[in-house]
Amino acid sequence: MKEDKAGKLDIPDDKSFFFVMTSSSINILSSRRNMITKTIDVIDLNNIDKVKMDFDADGNQVYQGGLKSMGVFDEGKCFQLVLKAGFKFIICSSDYKLELRVEEAIYKF
């Protein structure tokens, strides 16, 4: 599998994808080779339900509403995006710091 400085160009398996966040959308890609032809889905950040920040029983910061913190699973640390139209996306990352940065960026939007 080909790589560059940023990592692999293609996804390693059918449960993985590339996630590119812009100032107004989240783009889900099957490869970084050509973002236009390899786009699987685009989530407009304006279509995410209102996001609320709260704390769980242990005092950890969690999100609710359109962005729900789900916890840690075999796939990594996961969160769920809930769109106003009712669609839901579950996104997990084995890079916990990256996942937290994504949650914070969505919350701040």
Among residues 75, 83, 82, 64, which one has the least CA distance to residue 99? 75
pLDDT in tens, 14-64: 777 888 888 899 988 877 666 666 788 899 999 999 999 988 889 888 888
Separation CA 54–CA 30 (nearest Å) = 33
* 58 close to 47: Cβ distance less than 8 angstroms: no
**Residue 28, pLDDT score:** 86
Positive or negative: CA dihedral 25, 42, 49, 88: negative
pTM of the model: 0.74
If pLDDT is split at 50, 70 and 90, which confidence band does 101 have?
confident
Half-sphere exposure of 6 (CA within 13 A, CB side): 9
First to last CA, the chain: 35
User: Cβ–Cβ contacts within 10 Å for residue 57, how many?
Assistant: 5
Pairing of strands 39-44, 51-55: unpaired
